[in-house]
Each structure stands twice: as structure tokens, then as C-alpha cells.
Amino acid sequence: MSPAMAKKLPVAMMESGPVGGVIATAQLGAALGFKNLITFDMGGTTAKTSLIKDNEVQVAQGYHIGGYASGHPVMFPVVDIVEVGAGGGSIAWIDEVGALKLGPHSAGSDPGPICYRRGGELPAVTDANVVLGRIGATSFLGGEMPLDADAARRGLEAKLCAPLQMNAIEVAHGIVKIAVAKMSLAVRGVSVERGYDPRDFALVAIGGAGPLHAVEIARDLQIPTVIVPNLPAHFSALGMLLADVRQDYVRTYYKRLFEADYSALTRIFAELLRDGHETLDNAGVEHSARSFQYWLDLRYVGQEFWLQVPVNESEIRSGDSAAIHRRFSEIHDHRFGHAALEEPLELVNLRLTAIGARPKIQFPKLARTAADARVGTREIYLDDAARATTCAVYRREKLTPAVEIEGPAVIEEYASTTVLFPGDKLRVADTGELIVTVRRS
């Protein structure tokens, strides 16, 4: 790698969609008064999740394309996203021992799930939701694309019911439960496995299928609140328009911390700072909108992986190794539940993040009207595969601020559906977001 490449690395955006959703979630949380959020984005093939602490997007210093166990490592900054193969098109199948499995193969959009009427023959998560009544077969995409619920049921019966000795409703219920379990593990991956308690966060449901499953995931993890933004299926696109300018710089400096030459560290950070200002100059960022973050990559002597530790200019100028060591110990204890206070540390890299803040979006408030949003009822299988529940059906575009709805109910919009179970309570924010208080299990 050339010296120029070694000192200047961009934040990898992975897929633009998931990253956009994370960025938009951070701004939405700030506007609604929520600092700690977990974004949950479920589309057609995968479900993605990321954690936001104090309205700051979490950035990891590496990523494995294709999964940690067998993927290819990419060692530069990425938005910290955990992804699992559970989307609306994820195919349900039976393994060699007769167990019901889900994914990672997907029906995609062509041919898509069976209910799409495009030649699909393998049952998917969307088919299960249609059979359970959670997705309205006649109201999908605002009624522009009617779904074939009977074909979805026949597909479940042909491929899965006989081997499992279950009826179509029971199989569909099982598919959804497996999907929820897989997605709950992904949420644990960005929260519990990072040292955070999911009960301290709100879950933001985006993507076409996110609001359909978010309440069940939140209940499984005891997350108290689910937020469904306006136009959740298109929310990630909004986020890509809101992103700040950001450039990450890294310089290797390998030495034990107590042996570090802090005058050399000061000089290196000054060089990186100069590069940061040059980048922001080229991006047209005003000086008043600029900020810089300083980091040291530290680890115990003999370890392979490091932790990224924030530092400030005064600590570098004064050579305050003790303060830096204490901060490393606090981060290590939070992340792993222990810290070896007397073990020596070694310094691996210096990092500087240059940020050019963009103007924050102002979400418009909804008009308060007297429109009746309830459009009827539908029989839906929720917690019990043996008995359907009569659920009220609402059109989201007719909901107005301060409206309150208690489950069981479904709220339909053009490209998504939000499902409330008995005891869940929803209120509409002034700017139109759905704020769901999740019933405790």
C-alpha cells in the first residue's frame, strides 16, 4: 500500500441503502428526542441493523464481506452494520433431518415470492405473512399489485406441510417465528455483543418489511419503544441526502504506550489535521461546520486486535499516558466485562476523523384533520396459529398527530405495513412518525 493510501482512508459505505438508513435514523432520533437507537432495516433479501449511541453513528475499523467465519476481511472504516439472511424473499426449506430452515437463498424480485404471480414456486417470508393475513393481499402497494394468497397457501402445502405434518397456518407461523429469531440475533449483535443493553434503546423500523416484524423483535429483546418513520420503505434514500462529509485518516505508529514519543504523535496529528482541512476545503465546508476527532488504536501487549480510544489534543501535547490508559480500561471493561489494569499497552495506529456537518433536516408537521383513518377489519394470525384475531385496519396517510391506537391492529401504507399485537400502544408524533409502546412479554 502506498504511503498516500496508508494515511487516507474513506469510510466505506457498504450498500448505500443500509448506511443511508442509519444516518437518517440518527437525525430522526435527535428530532424526536431519542439519543439511543437501534436501526432495523428489513428488505427483500436481508435484514440489517446498527446501533446509534448519543445520536452518533457507530463506525467499525473493519468488515468481513460474506460474514466473519468465511468472508473476506476489509480493513478500513465502515459503518458498523450486522446483516442476516432474513428478508421478505428469504426462502423456507427443510433440511436433511427434517427441520424447517429459512434462507440464506432468496426468491428476490424476479420471480419473487409465490404470491407475486411471477412464476415463483418456493415459499418465502412474504408468502407466510400473506397466509397469516399480516400483509393485505388486496391492499399491497396501495392495491396496485394484488397478491395471490391462495397460491401462497398452496405453495406452503406442496413444499412444507406434509414433511412437517403441519397445516399451512402453522407452517407460516413457524416461518415468521424463525425470521424474527434470526433478526433478533442481529440486533443482539450490535447491542449485547458490543456491551449495550437493548432495553436502553428505541428500535427504528425501516425498509418495506421492517415495520411488519419490528414489534415482535422489540418484545423479544425487551426494547420498550418502536419508531416507524414516514415512508419507511424509502427512508434510506433520505439518509443518503443528509450525510455529513466525512474522511478518515490513519497512520501506523507501533510502540508501547509508555515508550511513545508524544512530540512525534503531535507532529503526525498535525499532518493529518492539515490533510483533513484540505479535504473539507475541496468539499466546500465552512470552517464553522468543521470538527475533528482524535483516536489511538491500543491493545494489550501480545493481543491481535485493538480498541479505538478517543483522545484530545491536550492529552497528546502533555503526554498523559495515564489518562489514556484509564480510558482504554473503561472501554475494554464496557465491551468485554473486564480489564487488566496493570497490563502494559501498545500503540498501533493514530487516527483522525474530519467531519463537515451538513444542515440538519427539519421534518414538517402534519396538519390536524378529522379524517377517519380506520378502513375496516381483518382476520390475522398473531401469537396463536390455531386462532385468528380480528384486527382493526388503518390507512397511515389518514392518521393525524396525537392519534392513539391500541393493538391488535395493522396500519397500512403504500409500501409497508405496521403490525400491533394486543397490548401494544401507538401514538402519532406531530411530524407523523408512529411511536409504539411495546407490551412487555
* pTM score: 0.85
**Span between the terminal Cα atoms of the chain, in Å:** 53
Measured CA to CA, the distance from residue 289 to residue 283 in angstroms comes to 12
The least confident of 30-39, 158-167, 195-204, 368-377 is: 368-377
Element (H, E) at 328: helix 321-336
Pair 352, 293: CB distance under 8 Å? yes
Instruction: List the one residue out of 397, 401, 381 whose CA is nearest residue 389.
Output: 381
Measured CA to CA, the distance from residue 106 to residue 164 in angstroms comes to 21
Over the stretch 22-74, which tens digit does the pLDDT of each residue have? 888 988 998 899 999 999 999 888 899 999 999 888 887 776 665 566 667 77
Q: Where are the domains of the chain?
A: 15-243+363-441, 246-356
For residue 391, pLDDT over 80 is answered with: yes
Q: How far is CA 233 from CA 66, 141, 212, 224, 238, in A?
A: 25, 11, 11, 23, 10
Instruction: List the one residue out of 243, 328, 323, 312 whose CA is nearest residue 273.
Output: 312
Over the stretch 135-187, which tens digit does the pLDDT of each residue have? 999 999 888 999 999 999 999 999 999 999 999 999 999 999 999 999 999 99
Select the CATH number that applies to the domain covering 246-356 from these four: 3.30.230, 3.30.1490, 3.30.1710, 2.50.20: 3.30.1490
Instruction: List the one residue out of 228, 134, 136, 187 whose CA is nearest residue 437.
Output: 228
DSSP 8-class letter at 434: E
